[in-house]
Amino acid sequence: MTKIHPTAIVNPKAQIGKNCIIGQFCIVHENVKMGDNNELVSSVVIDGPTTIGNGNKFFHSAVIGTDCQDLKYNGEPTQLIIGNNNTFREFCTINRSATMVEPTQIGDNCLFMAYSHVAHNCILGSNLIIANAVNFAGHIHVHDNVIIGGMVALHQFVKIGTYAFIGGKSGIKKDIPPYTRGEGFPYKVMGLNSVGLQRRGFTNESIKSIKDVYKLFYKSGLNTSQAMEKALAIPDLTKEQKVFLDFVKDSDRGITK
C-alpha cells in the first residue's frame, strides 16, 4: 500500500505504483510515472515528463525532472527516464532533456551522492558510483560500472568508458577510455583500474589483454591513429580489447592522454 504524508502534494494525474512512500513536504507533479517500492524521504520535488522504475530512493530535497538549464530550451515537453534501485542523496538535481528525441537517462543500481547534478540529454549507465558535488554538463555519456570521485566537473559531450575510475577534484574535457584510472585538472590518465577490475571479477588474463592495448596508446610513444593500427593487428582480440578499441574509434572529442 502506498503511503502519502498529509503535507505532500501529489498531482492527481501523476501515476504512482504500489508500496511507495511519499514523505513530508514532497511535491509530485503531473506527467510523472512512478513504479513500485519507491521512496521520497522529505521535501523531494519530481517534475515531468519523468518515468521512474522500481525501488528507487530519493533523499531530502532532491529535485528531479525539472526543466533543463540550456538557454536554447523553448519550454517544450521533454523527458527524464530513471531505471531501478537507484539512490539519490540530499540535494541531487537531475534535469530533463532539452529535446524530446534524446531523453536524459539513468540506468539501474546507481548511487548519486549529495549535491551531484545531471544536466540535459545525459545518458548514464548502470552500477555507477557518483560522489558528492559531481557536475555533469549536457550530452554526457557514461558507460556502466564507472566510479567518479567528489567535486569532479565534466565538459559537455564527454564520454566515459566502462569500469573507469576518476579521482576527485578533476576536470574532464576529453573522453576517458574504459578500464582506466586517473585524476587532475586537466585530467590525466594514470594507468589501468587494475584493483577495481580484480574486485569486479576480471581474470588476470583479461587484465593483461587490456594492459597490452593500453600500452600501445599510453606507453609506446605512438599517436592515437598509429596505436589503433597496431592494436587492430593483434590476432584474436579479446572481448575487453574490442571494448577499448571500439570506444576509441567512437570518440568524438578525442581520448584523454
CATH of the domain at 94: 2.160.10.10
Q: Is the dihedral of CA 189, 247, 70, 85 positive or negative?
A: negative
Question: Is 125 found in the same domain as 19?
Answer: yes
Q: Quick one: 134 and 205 in the same domain?
A: no
Domain shared by 215 and 113, yes or no: no
- The CATH number for 242's domain is 1.20.1180.10
Residue 105: its pLDDT value, please?
98
Based on the fold, state whether residues 134 and 12 are members of the same structural domain: yes
Residue 9 lies in a domain: yes
In three-state secondary structure terms, 112 is strand
Give the integer Cα–Cα distance in Å for 173 and 191.
18
Give domain status of residue 113, yes or no: yes
Q: Are residues 102 and 223 in the same domain?
A: no
- Whether 241 is covered by a domain: the verdict is yes
Task: Give the 3-state secondary structure of 130-170.
Answer: ECCCCEECCCCEECCCCEECCCCEECCCCEECCCCEECCCC
The last residue of one of the domains, among 139, 156, 179, is 139
Q: What is the chain's pLDDT, residue by residue, as a tens digit (257 residues)? A: 999 999 999 999 999 999 999 999 999 999 999 999 999 999 999 999 999 999 999 999 999 999 999 999 999 889 999 999 999 999 999 999 999 889 999 999 999 999 999 999 999 999 999 999 999 999 999 999 999 999 999 999 999 999 999 999 999 999 999 999 999 999 999 999 999 999 999 999 999 999 999 999 999 999 999 999 999 999 999 999 999 999 999 999 999 99
Structural domain contains residue 145? no
Tell whether 205 and 90 lie within a shared domain.
Answer: no
pLDDT confidence of residue 112: 98
Q: Is 9 in the same domain as 125?
A: yes
> What is the C-alpha to C-alpha distance for residues 161 and 217, in angstroms, rounded to an integer?
15
Residues 40 and 110 in one domain: yes
- Which residue's entry shows cell 599517436? 223
Domain co-membership, 239 together with 117: no
Output the pLDDT for position 249: 97
Q: Looking at residue 88, what is its pLDDT? A: 99
Give the end of a domain, one of 110, 139, 168. 139
pLDDT at 100: 87
- Determine the Cα–Cα distance for residues 253 and 231; give it in Å rounded to an integer: 20
Residue 61: domain span: 3-139
For residue 184, being part of any structural domain is answered with: no
Is there a domain that residue 15 lies in? yes
The structural domain count of the chain equals 2
* Per-residue pLDDT, 136: 98
| Residue 101: predicted pLDDT | 87
